[in-house]
Amino acid sequence: MSSQLIFQEDSYVREFDCKIISVNEEENAVVLDKTAFYPGGGGQPCDLGVLETASNTYTITKVKKKGDHIYHYIDGKLPEVNEACTGKIDWERRYKLMRTHTAMHILSAVAWRDYKAQVTGGDMELLKGRMDLEFENFDKELILEIEKKINEEVENGRSIKIDILEREEAFKIPDLIRTKINLLPEGIREIRTVEIEGLDYQADGGTHVKNTTEVGKVKVVNYKSKGKINKRLYIELED
């Protein structure tokens, strides 16, 4: 049985009722009939939080997708199969990751729109991230220009929409895959898309804010050359 993936539909759900449908003693993990916990991917770390039952509170130390299931790793004794519980996301942490992920999309959108620079890699933490882009030349002036454009788009208050499309329909969208390598396996028939209205449209599975103004001020704090046409930018968001 596959779990209902609440985080794909609504990134703002921070508490939800669910049921344990299986336990894995070797992994010390449980599978839920529905989950709002993001399992990590695309550079975004997984969510953390707790599961509460009528008698216990279980700390979730990691969430990971394995095959068709999402494993919620428990600190300590496992709950029982079919036990009803309430999942609670560490919301402060999740929201910072949502803001950061959206900031990364704005950065990649600006790089593509204005410089036709593709993404070659990336990673993020709470309120900070790094992105590798196909730039041949980089200097302080260009960095300041990119930073200014990112913050202009944040302040533009663009709405962010999530959709799930059939693969054939999704790949009709120009530049849907912004990375240098298409990381979507052929077997995936439905593609989740994230649209920053008027700016960006990408295939993406992570969590995002609803409006760019929620991102807050973005600072490009460093940059490095990672090769002849590969440059790395580091960004940080104001807390």
Q: What is the CATH number of the domain that holds 164?
A: 3.30.980.10
pLDDT for res 180: 45
Q: Find the Cα–Cα–Cα–Cα dihedral 18, 23, 28, 34, rounded to 10°.
A: -30
What does the pLDDT look like over 85-106, one tens digit per residue?
999 999 999 999 999 999 999 9
Q: What is the CATH number of the domain that holds 58?
A: 2.40.30.130
pLDDT for res 189: 65
Same domain, 160 and 197: yes
Average pLDDT, the chain: 91
The full length of the chain comes to 239
Count of beta carbons in the 10 Å neighbourhood of residue 185: 6
Q: Percent of the chain scored above 90 by pLDDT? A: 79
Same domain, 138 and 219: yes
Q: How many domains does the chain have?
A: 2
What does the pLDDT look like over 16-52, one tens digit per residue?
999 999 999 999 999 999 999 999 998 999 999 999 9
Kind plus residue range of the DSSP H or E element containing 25? none
The mean-pLDDT minimum among 4-8, 113-117, 144-148, 167-171 falls in 167-171
Q: What share of the chain is helix, strand, coil (3-state, %, to 5)?
A: 20, 40, 40
Which phi-psi region, left, alpha or beta, contains residue 151 (left: φ > 0; alpha: ψ -120 to 50)?
alpha
The mean-pLDDT minimum among 10-24, 121-135, 159-173, 210-224 falls in 159-173
What does the pLDDT look like over 165-220, one tens digit per residue?
876 776 676 666 555 444 555 556 678 899 999 999 988 999 999 999 999 999 99
Tokens of 193: 């898309």
Q: Which residues pair with 90 in a beta bridge?
A: none
Same domain, 35 and 100: no
Pinpoint the alpha helices (H) of 17-90.
Answer: none
Over residues 150-178, mean pLDDT: 82
Same domain, 118 and 227: yes
pLDDT for res 183: 52
Q: If DSSP codes are grouped into helix, strand and coil, which group holds residue 216?
A: coil
Question: Which residue in 133, 152, 117, 146 sits closest to 221, CA to CA?
Answer: 146
Angle between helical axes of 140-155 and 91-115 (0-180°, round to 10): 120
Q: What angle do CA 133, 135, 136 make, to 5 degrees?
A: 150
Same domain, 56 and 125: no
Q: For residue 29, what are the domain limits?
A: 4-89
Direct distance between the N- and C-terminal alpha carbons of the chain, in angstroms, rounded to an integer: 40
Kind plus residue range of the DSSP H or E element containing 211? none
Same domain, 59 and 29: yes
Residues 16, 21, 25, 27: is their CA dihedral positive or negative?
A: negative
Say yes or no to pLDDT of 149 above 70: yes
More confident residue, 154 or 165: 154
